[in-house]
Amino acid sequence: MPKENEISIRFAVRDDIATILGFIEELAAYEKMSDQVIADKDTLAEWIFDKGKAQVLLADLNDETVGMALFFNNFSTFLGRAGIYLEDLYVQPHARGKGLGKSLLAKLASICVEEGYGRLEWACLDWNKPSIDFYLSLGAQQMDEWTDYRLCGDAISQLAAEYHTDSNSDRF
């Protein structure tokens, strides 16, 4: 019989795809970005499990899966080593405040230590004060001097069209 509030962290397997997509949709709703979710189970399975471009940790509370951390490797040229970029950290509302978010981040930190990675990084919406306070309580540093940029959709296609190659070189 499990103890009350027993937490376990495990790597997701292909059979967890529906759960992962559900968490992505719940997180998008919380962030008021539901209209931006175009991911589906097949696409996630391809990129996470077939292509191995991301990994997912799942958090179970009393044998119920209630949270996830979706992450991938990045690289720091200044450190000369890889790190982890945490794309999404999500715990369902009814399970918050029980240590699941901290357990997921602690597992990611332990992977960093085991692998010799230099950093564990993520972004947080500037209006999400509960999450910001949580991250600061763990010793995370807010990177105020950096601004994120993104190309996607038509902008990435338009820039890609600017890239010309000939048979002898890769240059603009």
Domain range summary for the chain, segments of one domain joined by +: 7-161
Q: Is 135 a catalytic residue?
A: yes
Chain-centroid distance, C-alpha 122: 8
Phi-psi region of 116 (alpha: psi -120 to 50; beta: other; left: phi over 0): left
Q: What percent of the chain has pLDDT over 90?
A: 88
pTM across the whole model: 0.90
Predicted pLDDT at 13: 98
Q: Where are the beta strands (DSSP E) in the chain?
A: 7-11, 55-61, 64-76, 81-91, 120-122
User: Distance (Å, rounded) from C-alpha 147 to C-alpha 126?
Assistant: 12
Task: For residue range 80-111, list pLDDT tens digits in order.
Answer: 999 999 999 999 999 999 999 999 999 999 99
pLDDT given at position 165: 57
Right CATH for 7-161 from 3.40.50.720, 3.20.20.70, 3.40.630.30, 3.20.20.140? 3.40.630.30
CB-based contact 58:10 (threshold 8 Å): yes
Identify the active-site residue in 30, 85, 90, 135. 135
Rg of the chain's alpha carbons, rounded to an integer? Answer: 18
- Chain segment 5-55, per-residue pLDDT in tens: 899 999 999 999 999 999 999 999 999 999 999 999 999 999 999 999 999
